[in-house]
């Protein structure tokens, strides 16, 4: 249990945006970053998770909150930093939280590619694998003052307990 608590605290610590001091090379941090944040919901599939005692089905509803930070590259390519927290399994009366931190690129203010770390407190293999690689591709469509993202996420696992998710939501 202590390991799980430490992992949650570490995830929350890394989920906070990091900015350089004013004396660092480049312009002040507030001038370069564009921040979009919003709610997320969608579908989560956890391969072989129904073999565990906790889950009845590998198919789960997911909901959460995400923050996307982009640094303009000046033309068609922007730097992308994504942080999100997601909760799955509520339809099975189970709480399966996870957090993701990704870095990547945004192309033409719409196509997003990212890779990073996923942390969860639930390991269906029972082998204490709480940290995984996460890769994602997405499209964000402008909608007036808002934007609507559609993301596809893949989280591999050494014991073939991979996860796949499709999420959408709204940013402001």
Whole-model pTM: value is 0.81
Q: From CA 149, how far away is CA 56, in angstroms rounded?
A: 29
Give the pLDDT of residue 4: 62
Tell me how far CA of residue 106 lies from CA of 78, 103, 114, 170, in angstroms: 5, 10, 9, 17
Cite the beta strand spans of 72-108 per DSSP E: 77-88, 96-107
Q: Which of 10-14, 30-34, 68-72 has the lowest mean pLDDT?
A: 10-14
| Element at 94 (helix H, strand E) | none
Q: Which of 8-12, 59-63, 125-129 has the lowest mean pLDDT?
A: 8-12
> Residue 156 — pLDDT band, cuts 50, 70, 90?
very high
3-state secondary structure of 9: helix
Residue 1 pLDDT exceeds 80: no
> Residue 31 — pLDDT band, cuts 50, 70, 90?
low
Domains of the chain, start order = 2-16+34-171 (2.40.160)
| CA-wise closest residue to 167 among 98, 92, 65 | 65
Give the pLDDT of residue 164: 97
| Element at 6 (helix H, strand E) | helix 2-14
Give the pLDDT of residue 77: 96
């Amino acid at each position: 249990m202590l390991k799980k608590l430490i992992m949650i605290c570490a995830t929350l610590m890394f989920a906070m945006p990091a900015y350089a001091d004013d004396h660092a090379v480049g312009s002040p941090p507030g001038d370069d970053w564009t921040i979009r944040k919003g709610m997320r919901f969608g579908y989560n599939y956890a391969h072989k998770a129904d073999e565990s005692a906790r889950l009845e089905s590998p198919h789960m509803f997911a909901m959460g909150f995400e923050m996307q930070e982009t640094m303009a590259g000046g033309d068609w390519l922007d730097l992308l930093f994504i942080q999100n927290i997601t909760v799955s399994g509520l339809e099975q009366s189970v709480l399966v939280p996870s957090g993701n931190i990704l870095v990547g690129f945004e192309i033409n203010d719409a196509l997003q590619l990212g890779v990073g770390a996923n942390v969860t407190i639930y390991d269906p293999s029972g082998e204490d694998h709480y940290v995984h690689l996460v890769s994602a591709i997405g499209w964000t469509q402008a909608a007036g003052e808002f934007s609507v993202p559609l993301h596809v996420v893949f989280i591999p696992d050494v014991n073939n307990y991979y996860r796949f998710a499709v999420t959408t939501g709204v940013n402001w």
